[in-house]
Amino acid sequence: MLSVNNLEVVYDDVVLVLRGVSLDVPHGTVVALLGANGAGKTTLLRAVTGLLVAHRGKITKGSVRLDGTDITRADPAQVVRGGVGQVMEGRRVFAEMTVEENLRTGAHTRRRAEYRESVDRVFDLFPVLAERRRATAGYLSGGEQQMLAIGRALMARPRLLLLDEPSLGLAPRLVEQVGEIIAQINGQGTSVLLVEQNAVMALSIASRGYVLEVGKVVRDGPAGELLADEDIREFYLGSTDDTGRRSLAEVKSYRRKKRWSA
């Protein structure tokens, strides 16, 4: 479905942020992209969606393919038309608009029946949005706004959904709920690339995971394997506070480090 090959991204013509990243999202799967702050996760999503330009970023090497079609330098509208939906960092909703109006901005169809079907699907996934359909989005809770942001992305009926840290700032119960909903969306046939710092949530719904560190993939494998991995557990579970975050490279022993970067 999505295939990223040896991607190199530079900001402001000088800052090398992705240093040869390769990653695959097979059709119908959930793939987790993990990594600490500043690893380059959001940058990778921007590179896929054509949004780098808006951030003075540029792909300097490598390629991005969607179902075999090269989209390496496609503009955002082309990528959306190709069936890629996204929820960017920080649950962007139109605060002044109602829930329903927000959803309407996500729809790309003029056909009433199709629109209705999409809204019904979103309300089915998020009953709380149905209840609050006429509420002003700015007054929703953080969790509800995140659901609305995901719902709006679903309105365009994407075949591939890119999610940037959907669990950020949510209470544990809500994190779990967001995880269940992502699994449900995937069950309805949408492939998902899930960027997360919550490794447990992400890996428990993903089939594969990648760990990004300073612009390079330092680890990848079946989600179950990563979830059972002691170093990953120590790194992602041992430091839940933002100040305590260490590098995965510091956590693992030198021998292991050699094995991983081989």
Which segment (31-39, 74-82, 183-191, 232-240) binds ligand ATP by CB under 6 A? 31-39
Q: Does 10 bind ligand ATP (CB under 6 A)?
A: no
Q: Does 12 bind ligand ATP (CB under 6 A)?
A: yes
Which segment (23-31, 37-45, 74-82, 251-259) binds ligand ATP by CB under 6 A? 37-45
Which residues in the 63-102 window bind ligand ATP by CB under 6 A?
89
Name residue 160's beta-bridge partners: 84, 191
**Residue 103: which of 158, 151, 31, 170 has the closest Cα?**
151
**Residue 15: which of 48, 52, 68 has the closest Cα?**
52
Q: Does 209 bind ligand ATP (CB under 6 A)?
A: no
209 binds, among Mg ion, ligand ATP, none (CB under 5 to 8 A by kind): none
Q: Does 37 bind ligand ATP (CB under 6 A)?
A: yes
Cite the DSSP H helix spans in 86-222: 99-106, 112-125, 127-131, 142-154, 172-187, 199-205
Residues 53 and 55: their CA atoms lie apart, in Å, by: 5
Q: Looking up tokens 């959001």, which residue turns up?
A: 42
Concatenated DSSP letters for 112-126?
A: HHHHHHHHHHHHHH-
Q: Does 43 bind ligand ATP (CB under 6 A)?
A: yes
Nearer to Mg ion, 41 or 132 (CB): 41
Name residue 15's beta-bridge partners: 11
Nearer to ligand ATP, 10 or 129 (CB): 10
Among 41, 91, 152, 208, which residue sits at the site for ligand ATP (rule: CB under 6 A)? Answer: 41
Nearer to ligand ATP, 99 or 232 (CB): 232
Residues near ligand ATP (CB under 6 A), total? 16
Contacts (Cβ under 8 Å, ≥6 apart) of 153: 85, 86, 87, 106, 161
Q: Does 167 bind ligand ATP (CB under 6 A)?
A: no
Q: Does 55 bind ligand ATP (CB under 6 A)?
A: yes
Contact (Cβ atoms closer than 8 angstroms) between residue 2 and residue 160: yes
Q: Does 171 bind ligand ATP (CB under 6 A)?
A: no
**Residue 119: which of 105, 138, 139 has the closest Cα?**
105
138 binds, among Mg ion, ligand ATP, none (CB under 5 to 8 A by kind): none
Q: How far is the CB of 89 from ligand ATP (least distance, A)?
A: 6
Q: Report the interface residues with ligand ATP, using CB under 6 A.
A: 11-12, 15, 17, 35, 37-43, 55-57, 89
